[in-house]
Amino acid sequence: MKVIILAAGVGSRLGKSHPKILTSLIDGKSILEHQIDGLSHYVKNNDIYVIVGYKKRMIINSFPQLSYLYNNYYETTNTAKSLLIGLKGLKGHDVLWLNGDVVFDHQVIKKIIEFPGTCIAVNKTQVGTEEVKYRTNNQGFVIELSKEVDEPEGESVGIHKLLNQEIGILRECLSKCDNFDYFEKGLELAIEHGVKVTPIDISNFMCMEIDFIDDLILANKTLENKNKSI
């Protein structure tokens, strides 16, 4: 299993002067440090690849133990092209990929890794207006995945797994995406080409994306309450 963390973007909505993934949380750990802590239960550091672009040297210097791939066109591309860079560099392995702004309980990773097929982590208890939503067919496989889904069943939380034999299909679909498309567009195209994606409900675990200051405040409150209960 290889892991790709998408962290090339500026993260302008959070309004920080550093890459979003280096944002510190209430416990003093950065988002990336939290991600590594969670992933380390299941994968080795040398199996983690971070796609970097904006102020990449800050990330590399902070976490020299990780491997890096570069999106030198981060200002004119989005996550579809960043993920494509990652998938081109990694062959022969199942791949777990996640957005660089997700803070999660490590058991979310456990559920995703233990599932035998291609899957995405979802929260069925909330559907944010700005979040990526999903809908399934009668067999329980995802058929829509975007910010514009009628009658959504929940929201995607930014953590995904793809089986090795399906990587070629997703690479081809991502290559057809426009520069500013999110990778979900490529995944939707892959679904149209026969890739079966199962939503894995992780609603009972902490898992949130930090896009705005309000998200950061909520994440800090959640971590604070979690620490108090330990």
Tens of pLDDT, residue by residue over 83-110, are 999 999 888 899 999 999 999 999 999 9
Q: Among residues of the chain, what percentage have pLDDT more than 70?
A: 98
Looking up tokens 């380390």 gives 40
For residue 64, give every residue at least 6 positions away whose Cβ sits within 8 Å of its Cβ, in sequence order, or none.
none
Across 165-169, average pLDDT: 96
According to the model, what pLDDT value does residue 90 have?
85
User: pLDDT-derived band of residue 53, with 50, 70 and 90 as boundaries?
Assistant: very high
Residue 146 has pLDDT above 70, yes or no: yes
Of 205, 210, 211, the C-alpha closest to 226 is 205
For residue 34, give every residue at least 6 positions away whose Cβ sits within 8 Å of its Cβ, in sequence order, or none.
25, 103, 104
pLDDT in tens, 1-27: 999 999 999 988 888 889 999 999 999
What is the Rg, in whole angstroms, of the alpha carbon atoms belonging to the chain? Answer: 16
Contact predicate 119/198, CB 8 Å: yes
According to the model, what pLDDT value does residue 60 have?
97
Residue 160 has pLDDT above 90, yes or no: yes
The model's pTM is 0.95
Across 105-128, average pLDDT: 95
Reply yes or no on domain 2-229 having CATH 1.10.3720.10.
no
